[in-house]
C-alpha cells in the first residue's frame, strides 16, 4: 500500500513538473527584412540609423558570420522556411513576374512541387497548437508589383495572413528609376511625402501590433516580413537627412575592374553601368534611408511586445533573405557569391539565455533557423532538416556547430570557412576564387592560382563537389 502511495506521489510530482515547464510555451516573433545586408550600426556601419535592431542585438546574440543558401528571394525564403537547402526544394529562381500562388503549378517553382508533404517551419508550430500568422512578405512575391497580393505563399503554413499595400505602392509614378516603368528589378528610389504609417511597412507594423494584442494569452508564432530596403528604396523624407555626398563609394580591385572571372560578375546590369558617381551616392543614401525607416517600424513592434509583457517569454529572430551589394565589387543588389551578397544579419534573442548582448564568429546558415526555433521551443523538428540548432552558440559565443557555410547561385557554389571563401563556377570551367577573409575581408586578391594554396583548394573543391552532387538537372 505504502509502495503504491509513493509511486503515485512520484507520478503526480513528475506531471506537475512537466506541466509547470509547459505552462507557458515560448512564443516566436520572426522578423525578416527584404534585401538587407549588414549595413547596421551593431555590425559596425556608422552611417545608418538602426537603433531598434541594435537594441535587439544588445538583448541577444549577434551572428557575425551568417550566410544565406541562395542570394535570391524565392530560393532563399523557400530554403529557410522549410529548413532544406535549395537543391532539396528545387527552387533555384524566382517565379515569372505577375504570378502568385492560386495554385502551385501556375506559380512555379514552388517548394511543394518537390516536397508536397513537407512540414514547413511555421506549419510545425501550427501543428503544435500555436497561433500562427504572417504579416507581409515571408515566402516570395515580387516587390513592388505584387504588394497587396498573397504572392508565392504557402497556404498550409499559416492560419491567418495580412497582405498590406501602402502609399508607396499607390505612388509608383513618383519613383525615380534607372529603367522607366520598372521599380523592383532595377535601382529605383523615392524620398516620399507623408507619414510612416501610410507606407506598406508602416501598415505591416500596425497589423503586427494588433495581432500581438490578440494573441497575448495564447502561444504564437508571428512572422513579419518587411518590404524594405528592397527596391524601390522608398522612405519618408525625414530618413534622407544625411546628404548623398557624404557616402563614400567602395574602392574596386583590379579583378573588379576587369571583372575576372566573368561568371563572378554576371549579376551586373546594363543600366547600372551608366550611373554617375552622384547617382551611385544617391542610391546608397536611399537604400540606407529605407533601412532606417524599416528599423523604425520594427521598433514599433518590439515596443508593443514589451508593453504587453510578452518579451520575457518570446524568442525573437531577426534576419534578411540574403545580402546585398551597394557598389562593392562594382556590383549592385544580389545574385553574386561575394560576401556582400551571401552574408546576412542574424540576431537571436532567447529570453532564457544567460548570455546576452554578445557577438559570435560562429558560422551559421539560414537553414539553421528552423532547427534552432524548434529546439528553443521544445518541439520535435523533422529529422531531414538540413540545418543545425544554434542553441549551443546562444549559451556560449565561443562555441561552434559547423565548420562551413554553403551558398550557391546560378552555376556557382561557394564555401565559407572561418578563414576562407572558395567559389567554383561550373565546376571550375568558368573560374575559381579563393579569398583569405582574415587578411583580406573585402575580397580584393584572388588566391586561386597561387600554388601554395593548392592543397587547401583541393579540399574545399572536394567539399563543394559533395555539396552540389544533388544539383537538379538543367541548373
Mean of per-residue pLDDT scores for the chain: 92
Beta-carbon contacts of 380 under 8 Å, excluding residues fewer than 6 positions away, are 374
- 342: part of which helix (H) or strand (E)? helix 339-342
Beta-carbon contacts of 139 under 8 Å, excluding residues fewer than 6 positions away, are 74, 77, 78, 81, 101, 151, 152, 153, 154, 157
What phi and psi values does residue 365 have, to the nearest 5 degrees?
Answer: -130, 155
377 neighbors 28 (Cβ within 8 angstroms): yes
Nearest to 362 by CA among 325, 421, 416, 422: 416
Residues 247-297: tens digit of each pLDDT: 999 999 999 999 999 999 999 999 999 999 999 999 999 999 999 999 999
169 neighbors 222 (Cβ within 8 angstroms): no
Burial of residue 352 (CB within 10 Å: 0-12, 13-18, 19+) is: exposed
Q: What is the DSSP letter of 107?
A: G
How far apart CA 416 and CA 434 sit, in angstroms, is 10
Residues 292-312: tens digit of each pLDDT: 999 999 999 999 999 999 999
How far apart CA 115 and CA 121 sit, in angstroms, is 13
The cell numbers describing 80, all together, are 529557410
Q: Cite the DSSP H helix spans in 91-137.
A: 111-114, 121-127
SS3 (DSSP) at 278: helix
What phi and psi values does residue 388 have, to the nearest 5 degrees?
Answer: -130, 150
Grade residue 18 by pLDDT with cuts at 50, 70 and 90.
very low
The cell numbers describing 359, all together, are 557577438
Is the pLDDT score of 39 beyond 70? Answer: yes
**Rounded mean pLDDT of 167-173?**
94
The pTM of the full predicted model, rounded to 2 decimals, is: 0.93
Residues 420-452: tens digit of each pLDDT: 999 999 999 999 999 999 999 999 999 999 999
Q: For the chain, list the domains and their CATH numbers.
A: 25-402 (3.40.720.10), 411-475 (3.30.1120.10)
Amino acid at each position: 500500500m505504502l509502495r503504491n502511495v509513493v509511486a503515485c506521489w512520484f507520478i503526480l510530482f513528475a506531471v506537475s513538473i512537466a506541466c509547470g515547464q509547459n505552462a507557458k510555451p515560448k512564443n516566436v516573433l520572426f522578423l525578416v527584412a527584404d534585401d538587407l545586408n549588414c549595413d547596421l550600426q551593431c555590425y559596425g556601419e556608422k552611417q545608418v540609423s538602426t537603433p531598434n535592431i541594435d537594441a535587439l542585438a544588445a538583448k541577444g546574440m549577434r551572428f557575425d558570420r551568417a550566410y544565406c543558401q541562395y542570394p535570391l528571394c524565392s530560393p532563399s525564403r523557400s530554403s529557410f522556411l522549410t529548413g532544406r537547402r535549395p537543391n532539396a526544394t528545387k527552387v533555384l529562381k524566382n517565379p515569372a513576374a505577375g504570378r502568385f500562388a492560386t495554385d502551385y503549378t501556375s506559380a512555379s517553382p514552388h517548394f511543394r512541387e518537390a516536397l508536397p508533404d513537407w512540414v514547413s517551419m511555421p506549419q510545425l508550430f501550427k501543428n503544435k497548437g500555436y497561433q500562427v500568422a504572417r504579416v507581409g512578405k515571408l515566402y516570395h512575391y515580387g516587390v513592388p508589383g505584387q504588394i497587396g497580393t498573397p504572392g508565392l505563399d504557402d497556404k498550409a503554413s499559416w492560419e491567418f495572413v495580412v497582405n498590406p499595400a501602402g502609399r508607396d505602392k499607390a505612388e509608383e509614378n513618383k519613383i525615380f528609376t534607372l529603367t522607366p516603368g520598372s521599380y523592383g528589378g532595377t535601382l529605383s528610389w523615392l524620398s516620399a511625402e507623408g507619414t510612416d504609417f501610410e507606407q506598406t511597412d508602416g501598415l505591416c507594423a500596425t497589423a503586427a501590433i494588433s495581432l500581438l494584442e490578440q494573441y497575448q494569452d495564447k502561444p504564437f508564432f508571428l512572422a513579419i516580413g518587411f518590404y524594405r530596403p528592397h527596391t524601390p528604396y522608398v522612405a519618408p523624407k525625414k530618413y534622407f537627412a544625411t546628404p548623398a555626398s557624404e557616402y563614400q563609394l567602395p574602392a574596386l580591385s583590379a579583378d573588379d575592374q576587369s571583372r575576372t572571372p566573368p561568371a563572378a560578375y554576371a549579376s551586373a546590369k546594363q543600366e547600372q553601368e551608366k550611373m554617375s558617381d552622384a547617382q551611385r551616392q544617391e542610391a546608397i543614401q536611399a537604400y540606407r534611408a529605407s533601412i532606417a525607416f524599416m528599423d523604425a517600424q520594427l521598433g514599433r513592434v518590439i515596443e508593443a511586445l514589451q508593453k504587453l509583457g510578452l518579451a520575457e517569454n518570446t524568442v525573437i529572430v531577426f534576419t534578411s533573405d540574403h545580402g546585398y551589394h551597394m557598389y562593392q565589387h562594382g556590383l549592385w543588389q544580389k545574385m553574386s557569391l561575394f560576401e556582400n551578397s551571401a552574408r546576412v544579419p542574424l540576431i537571436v534573442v532567447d529570453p532564457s539565455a544567460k548570455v546576452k548582448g554578445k557577438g559570435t564568429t560562429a558560422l551559421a546558415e539560414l537553414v539553421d533557423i528552423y532547427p534552432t526555433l524548434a529546439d528553443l521551443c521544445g518541439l520535435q523538428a523533422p529529422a531531414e532538416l538540413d540545418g543545425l540548432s544554434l542553441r549551443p552558440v546562444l549559451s556560449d559565443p565561443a562555441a561552434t556547430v559547423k565548420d562551413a557555410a554553403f551558398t550557391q547561385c546560378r552555376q556557382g557554389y561557394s564555401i565559407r570557412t572561418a578563414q576562407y571563401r572558395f567559389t567554383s563556377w561550373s565546376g571550375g570551367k568558368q573560374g575559381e576564387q579563393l579569398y583569405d577573409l582574415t587578411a583580406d575581408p573585402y575580397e580584393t586578391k584572388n588566391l586561386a592560382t597561387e600554388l601554395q594554396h593548392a592543397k587547401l583548394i583541393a579540399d574545399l573543391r572536394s567539399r563543394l563537389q559533395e555539396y552540389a552532387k544533388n544539383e537538379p538537372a538543367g541548373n
